[in-house]
Chains A and B, each alone.
Chain A
Amino acid sequence: MAGGQGWLNVLLRSREGSLVLLIAVMTVLTTSLNPRFISPQSLKDLMLNVSIIALLVLGQTVIILMRQIDLSISSIVGITAFLSGSLFINHPGIPGMVVVLIAILAGLLLGAVNATLIAWGRIPALITTLGTLYIFRGANYAWVHGRQVNAVNVPASFLAIGTSTFAGIPFLTWIVLVLLVVFAIGLRQYMVGREFYAIGSNPNAAVLAGINVSRRLATGFLVSGAIAGLAGALWLARFGTVDATAAEGIELTVITSTVVGGVAITGGVGTVVGAVLGALLLSVFSSTLVFLRVPSFWQQSFQGAMLLLAIAADAYLAHRYALRLRVKWSHV
């Protein structure tokens, strides 16, 4: 009995644990109402839907850990998705790998614009990336000019990245899983990773500890840009059709996922595993709504409400933790 309680406590104590529990409960409930929810096809759809968001969540986690924000990712995804498509159209026979690399490079370049303005121009990340969100999207509209990339323009072997599976799991999801492991280890075990946490927990202390904050901020926005570039190439592989509006507005989903996943908007707290679970929870939740025949117009307000709840929960937990610390040290 006591053991059982301890087990539940541990599960609820950690954000990852409670997220897994929430996802499980939601899956069981929806399945009991509609058994097709866990059919292989809908599970595959679910994994595909969450993959690109989860990928972007990795980059956003690094940013939010440093108490920053990157709103421009959706525009970077849009540009690099169309770039990938136009590469296939203008250079028939170009290897898919080269296209992916060029997309990552383009993302890195756009990330460098953010990085320069934020780390050396000393403009707050919110203002910079709000500006570049519109600048990059505007540039995309001007460049695309009403054109469209269609699935027929893209080689079947490239589209297969977005549809084929390996060991029952979509290839796209494998890419995310591998990167998730890399990010999890990098943030946990390596100097760079710990510095991201240090900057977010206390920027002044980080400077005094000898961390080059500007350089780390730049690293973060470069990583976020490169990830968004990769996501752009994969967006083309997943959907086949790309126009100027591709990925518009997904920055909200990505930020909500990250924060719901336990990465505190006030910086310094959270893990990539939690953040990706947050993306999974949001995705399960939105397909639950679809299965329950809730009109799609409701999605956005649910997302906003979840973001508000997550911020409030984080603030409450931080407050309780601070109180506990005060009690613990009150005898000193």
Chain B
Amino acid sequence: MLAVLVLIAIVGGMLLNKDFPTVDNWSNLLANFVEIALMALPLSLIVITNEIDLSVASMLGLSSSLLGFLWAYKLAMPLAIVICLVVGALCGALNGFLVVRFRLPSLAVTIGTLALFRGFAYIILGDKAVADFPPEYAEFGLGNVPFTFIPSPFVLFIVLALIFWVLLHHTTVGRSIYAIGGNQTAARFSGVNISRLKMLLFIASGVISALAGIVFTFRFSSSRADNGTGFELSAIAAVFLGGVTVQGGKGTVTGVVLSLLLIGIINNVLTLADVASEILRIVTGSLLIISILLPNLIAATQERFRLMQRQREITTLGGASAAK
């Protein structure tokens, strides 16, 4: 069904705007949601295990600020990138530690770390900005893969999406993730190491959010403490729109990738139509709510229909016995 929606969006985009099908525009479209797409991958696995990570955008901001800070202190760029990824892993490990060891609700923990990590970003950079990144890295952020319209950072997403797809759908780890979301107690008794798996997922979320922060920094050649504020909304919207359920245990990588594409196309079409960015926020927020409201309404209607049918059966049975 999502594939149909994506097709409708593409056709609609072509009808609405002659610039939509151009190569330049598609390269733009893909580049514009690469950070959110990266963060949505580990996030969807976390949501399948019935947890959530609201701190992804703050980890992105922290990594972007740290990269700028280290570069301004003349650290070699490869080393600075490695440090950012390690810090991302540590941030994710803190989330995982609090959730797994202290059994705290991940919702509350990651609201706390959302403030904490964004706070760290402000401590590191304050209201300053770092912009003089070396041209070859800025080129990676802005350029395309040679001879194609695919933006270079998007290759990272393609590779990671493939890895996550194999991991979730073709390995025991993937089955364990579904098992935890389906029934945590049953998963424990079947020998799934829940604590370790959740810990690893939170760490993966930290590392990939940090990677998204690095991509963001190079794409805009700008490192600021408020980079990516509010991105968690789009990432979470993509996860739920992609068919991952709130109750956990369900969802596919393909679904999430399609919903990312859908959100990317909608944003692109609206931007081409000169729709203001505030309206984009309204659209993303509404998509998030609708993605859960619609399945709920369908389920409720089916339930009512089933009840009505049962009632009819009972009345006919009752009528039959009365006739006897």
Binding site for B on A (CB under 8 A): 69, 117, 121-124, 126-128, 130-135, 137-139, 141-142, 252, 255-256, 259, 265-266, 295, 297-305, 307-308, 311-312, 315
A256 to B111 CA separation, bound complex (whole angstroms): 9
Determine the residue in chain B with the shortest Cβ distance to A302.
Answer: B119
CB neighbours of A128 from chain B (8 A): 289
Q: Is B126 an interface residue (CB 8 A)?
A: yes
- Not counting A121-B293, A297-B225, a sample of 13 additional A-B residue pairs whose C-beta atoms are within 8 angstroms of each other reads A130-B288, A134-B233, A134-B284, A138-B285, A141-B281, A142-B279, A297-B122, A299-B119, A300-B119, A300-B122, A304-B115, A311-B112, A312-B98
* Residue pair A135, B286 in contact (C-beta under 8 Å): yes
Q: Which residues of B come within 8 Å of A, CB atoms?
A: 52, 98, 102-105, 107-109, 111-120, 122-123, 126-127, 225, 230, 233, 236-237, 240, 246, 276, 278-282, 284-286, 288-289, 292-293, 296-297, 300
Q: Which of B52, B225, B240, B278 touches A138 (beta carbons < 8 Å)?
A: B278
Given contacts A265-B108, A312-B104, contact A256 B115 (CB under 8 A): yes
**Given known contacts A304-B112, A308-B109, is B278 in contact with A142 (CB within 8 Å)?**
yes
CB distance from A295 to the nearest CB of B (A): 7
Q: Give the distance in Å from the alpha carbon of A204 to the alpha carbon of B272 in the complex.
A: 49
The answer to whether B119 touches A121, judged by C-beta atoms less than 8 angstroms apart, is no
Let me know if A308 and B98 touch, CB within 8 A: yes
Nearest CB of chain B from residue A287's CB, rounded to whole Å: 18
- Asked if B296 and A122 sit within 8 Å, CB to CB, the answer is yes
Which A residues touch B119, using CB under 8 A?
A: 297-304
Complex Cα spacing A299 to B112, Å: 13
Interface centre among A121, A133, A134, A297 (most CB of B within 10 A): A134
Top 4 closest A-B pairs, CB basis?
A301-B119, A304-B116, A304-B115, A300-B119
Determine which residue in A117, A130, A142, A300 has the highest number of CB atoms from chain B within 10 A of its CB, and name it. Answer: A300
CA distance A117 to B292 in the complex (A): 10
Cα distance, A155 to B126, chains bound together (Å): 37
A256–B119 Cα distance when bound, in Å, is 14
**Complex Cα distance A137/B48, Å?**
29
Partner of B289 from A117, A265, A298, A307 at Cβ < 8 Å: A117
B104 touches A134 (CB 8 A): no
Indicate whether A297 sits within 8 Å of B123 (C-beta atoms), given known contacts A117-B289, A127-B288, A311-B108. yes
Minimum Cβ distance to chain B for residue A297 (Å): 4
Among residues of A, the one whose C-beta sits closest to the C-beta of B288 is: A131
Q: List 28 A-B contacts (CB under 8 A).
A: A117-B293, A121-B296, A127-B236, A130-B288, A131-B237, A131-B288, A132-B289, A134-B282, A134-B285, A135-B281, A135-B286, A138-B285, A141-B278, A142-B282, A256-B112, A266-B105, A297-B225, A298-B122, A300-B115, A301-B117, A301-B119, A301-B123, A304-B114, A304-B116, A305-B116, A311-B112, A312-B102, A315-B103
Partner of A255, one of B111, B127, B237, B300: B111
Nearest A residue to B246 by beta-carbon distance? A124
Q: Cα distance A81–B119 when bound, in Å?
A: 27
Cross-chain contact A126 with B296 (CB below 8 angstroms): no
Question: How far, in angstroms, from A128 to B286 measured CA to CA in the complex?
Answer: 9
Q: Which residues of A contact B237 (CB under 8 A)?
A: 131
* Chain B residue, CB-CB nearest to A71: B111
CA distance A256 to B112 in the complex (A): 8
Chain B residue contacts of A307, Cβ below 8 A: 108, 111-112, 115
Contact A298 B240 (CB under 8 A): no
Q: Which residue of B lies closest to A300 (CB)?
A: B119
Provide the residues of chain B in CB contact with A298, threshold 8 Å: 119, 122-123
**Chain A residues within an 8 Å CB radius of B105:** 265-266, 311
| Interface contact A311-B276, CB-CB below 8 Å | no
| A123-B296, A315-B102 known; A259+B281 contact, CB < 8 A | no
Smallest CB gap from A123: residue in B: B292
Closest Cβ of chain B: how far from A77's Cβ, in Å? 17
Chain B: CB-nearest residue to A255? B111
With a cutoff of 8 Å between Cβ atoms, the chain B residues found around residue A134 in the complex are 230, 233, 281-282, 284-285
Q: Which residues of A contact B122 (CB under 8 A)?
A: 297-298, 300-301
Partner of A127, one of B225, B240, B279: B240
Closest Cβ of chain A to B70, distance in Å, is 18
How far apart are A20's CB and chain B's nearest CB, in angstroms? 24
- A141 and B286 alpha carbons, distance in the complex (Å): 16
Q: When the two chains form their complex, are residues B109 and A138 in contact, meaning their CB atoms are under 8 A apart?
A: no
Name the residue on B nearest A128 (C-beta): B289
- Report if A301-B115 is in contact (Cβ < 8 Å); known contacts: A127-B240, A130-B233, A312-B104: yes
In Å, the complex CA distance between A297 and B126 comes to: 6
State how many angstroms separate the Cβ of B10 from the closest Cβ of chain A: 25
Name the A residues within 8 Å of B278 (CB-CB).
137-139, 141-142
CB–CB B115/A252 < 8 A: yes
Contact partner of A69 (CB less than 8 A), chosen from B107, B118, B281, B284, is B107
Whether B120 lies near A123 (C-beta < 8 A) is no
**Across the interface, do B293 and A123 meet the contact criterion of CB distance under 8 Å?**
yes
Which one of B111, B112, B280, B281 lies within 8 Å of A137 (CB-CB)? Answer: B281
The residues of B that contact A137 with a CB separation of less than 8 Å are 278, 281
CA distance A305 to B293 in the complex (A): 34
Contacts of B114 in A (CB 8 A): 252, 304
- Residue among B98, B276, B284, B285 with max Cβ neighbours from chain A (10 Å): B285
